[in-house]
Chain A
């Protein structure tokens, strides 16, 4: 956590400076008043100042050397969810929302929770159908459709 915190502090400072530099190119003030770069410049100053403040003011930094995740199992669960959501975003245009959700939800649930396949398929499948019905039928939101027409 300490290393990540330091990394983030460095990010705020560098990002703030980069934003200030970019904003200067956009222009800060012109004949008719503030230009497009004025507000981003102020934002960059605030970002840099807060990063420097967190770095130097006593008691602001995180000193704990604990890991970001509680344990390896927790890390696995979190990364699985992120990977599953990314996979769904990639697959949806090809397979359609309902098919993607009906496949990925049970798989994800099974990977995270020690439940039976029947529970996972029923829960994940029901969730996919309910959401599809709510948005596609009830609210008339056009969802991505796959090769099978849904």
Chain B
């Protein structure tokens, strides 16, 4: 790490908290909009800033959850339950302070485990061949379908669409053109930036403009940011439970901060005692979810860095950022490019520290920003989407792709389709296809190689078992059409 990376961590934490506070733009949309900027940075700086934005947004979302009962982003939904109740009791400061400390504790806990777990996992994964990688990616994709909130069948349609879009262009094995229909623009394939900016940035703008988003007024002064001794005593078990749960759920493909925060809240209700008091201002209801979601953000980096396999949309974007930088994450990253691996780990820790030491003193500023109307932000976001997409290849065709995906994403989200399986499949498809084809080429018995290799067999059997379990779990589409989550 160098001073420039420290600066990027600082900027990322600031931007992330800002995004978490402001309504109308989420962390995924921000990451996709700022991806083009990272083209000018080195790999460590790029990931440092993007990761800092994400966990900054986790904390920023808690601010609006606590103060105005509106979650800044999805992982902060459960924080509204007890956080806002504490604010109504005049304890907004303690809730906000505990949210900040809990985020720091969860992130640090996961970082310490990442430091030991990642190298071990990479050492194991070095022995993986194409069949094992194919099995691992298949498990990741199935888990993603399992974990999404909506219909797995709709998720499968999105996943298939992601695979199809990734197929457009030239087959890297045979050099054959696929789905280009004679178009020079399609020969290079669909640009990742245009897809993610359209799906997450432009579609978000369209949804917000449709809702005619208005921000709520903030009332009251915030005092006493430090939790009491009693708060700390009550929160300690919640930190341990939340951080551990978040760490596990962050590693599992398809998991992530949103799932982690919900499950942490459920765990607190179950284990903290006096469950009937939850929802009326229990400090554990803030401490558990907040430590859990930040822990999940950090542990989500483990499969990305050690295996090269993203487990959720955010790490898929980070994988995209690394690939654009010419870095292929995976088990060889630690041995061949240790400066990048450990630079990213160090930047995660530094960003976590910045999160704490910046946000406590700057809380007043974030509270004031809640008054900023969406009308002021909206032109900035739109122009950022346009220029960010153009900056990658200087090709106007990409802008039409961005607009197409923006409109398509808007319609699909209104019809309860989730975007995470699409973007995950789009990013993983080249690797997945390469692994499957390599496995079949190297096998004298065709597809039997997937069953003959023990690790591959276990992973594929697990994937099939989960797929069957999913088939018997009914989740009907909601009658009320609110847009599907990202």
Contact = CB atoms under 8 A, between A and B. Distances in A.
Interface stretch (B46-54, B286-294, B403-411, B451-459): B403-411
Nearest to B400: A89
Interface in B385-440: 386-387, 390-391, 394, 396, 399-400, 403, 406-407, 410-412, 414-416, 429, 433, 436-437, 440
B160 A50 contact: yes
A108 B416 contact: no
Given A36-B174, A46-B159, A5 B415 contact: yes
Interface residues of A, number: 76
Contacts of B211: 70, 74
B387 A131 contact: yes
Contacts of B391: 135, 139, 141
A105 B299 CA distance: 41
B277 interface: no
A69 interface: yes
Contacts of A82: 206, 403, 406-407
A33 B171 CA distance: 14
Nearest to A97: B387
A46 B160 contact: yes
A18 to B, nearest CB: 10
Contacts, number: 179
Interface of A is mostly: helix
Nearest to B155: A50
Interface in A114-136: 115, 119, 123-124, 127-128, 130-132, 135
Contact of A143 (B206, B387, B479): B387
B384 interface: yes
Contacts of B407: 82
A17 interface: no
A89 to B, nearest CB: 5
Given A8-B415, A36-B174, A89-B400, A47 B205 contact: no
Interface string B207-247: 00111100000000000000000000000000000000000
Interface string A63-94: 11010111001100110011001101100110
A39 B159 contact: no
B383 A127 contact: yes
A131 B416 contact: no
B394 A39 contact: no
Contact of A35 (B163, B174, B410, B477): B174
Interface in A23-40: 26, 32-40
Contacts of A144: 390
Nearest to B417: A8
B380 A127 contact: yes
A19 B36 CA distance: 32
Q: Give the interface centre of A78, A132, A141 by most chain B CB atoms within 10 Å.
A: A141
B210 A39 contact: no
A108 B375 CA distance: 11
B167 A101 contact: no
B163 A50 contact: no
Contacts of A127: 379-380, 383
A135 B391 CA distance: 8
A147 interface: no
A86 B400 CA distance: 8
Contact of A51 (B157, B206, B387, B411): B157
A98 to B, nearest CB: 10
Given A85-B202, A131-B387, A135-B391, A78 B210 contact: yes
A146 to B, nearest CB: 14
Interface in B438-483: 440-441, 474-477, 479-481
Nearest to A109: B379
A21 interface: no
A119 B375 CA distance: 10
A1 B151 CA distance: 16
B399 A89 contact: yes
A129 to B, nearest CB: 10
Nearest to A47: B160
A68 B413 CA distance: 11
Nearest to A9: B157
Contacts of B390: 97, 141, 143-144
11 contacts: A19-B164, A35-B176, A50-B153, A53-B153, A78-B410, A81-B205, A82-B206, A82-B407, A88-B386, A97-B390, A112-B378
6 closest Cβ pairs, A-B complex: A59-B476, A50-B157, A46-B160, A33-B441, A36-B176, A47-B160
Interface of B: 36-37, 40, 151, 153-154, 156-157, 159-161, 163-164, 167, 171, 173-174, 176, 178-179, 202, 205-206, 209-212, 375-376, 378-380, 382-384, 386-387, 390-391, 394, 396, 399-400, 403, 406-407, 410-412, 414-416, 429, 433, 436-437, 440-441, 474-477, 479-481
Given A113-B375, A143-B387, 15 more contacts: A8-B412, A33-B437, A36-B173, A40-B167, A40-B179, A46-B159, A46-B163, A47-B157, A50-B157, A54-B153, A54-B154, A62-B415, A73-B212, A78-B210, A82-B403
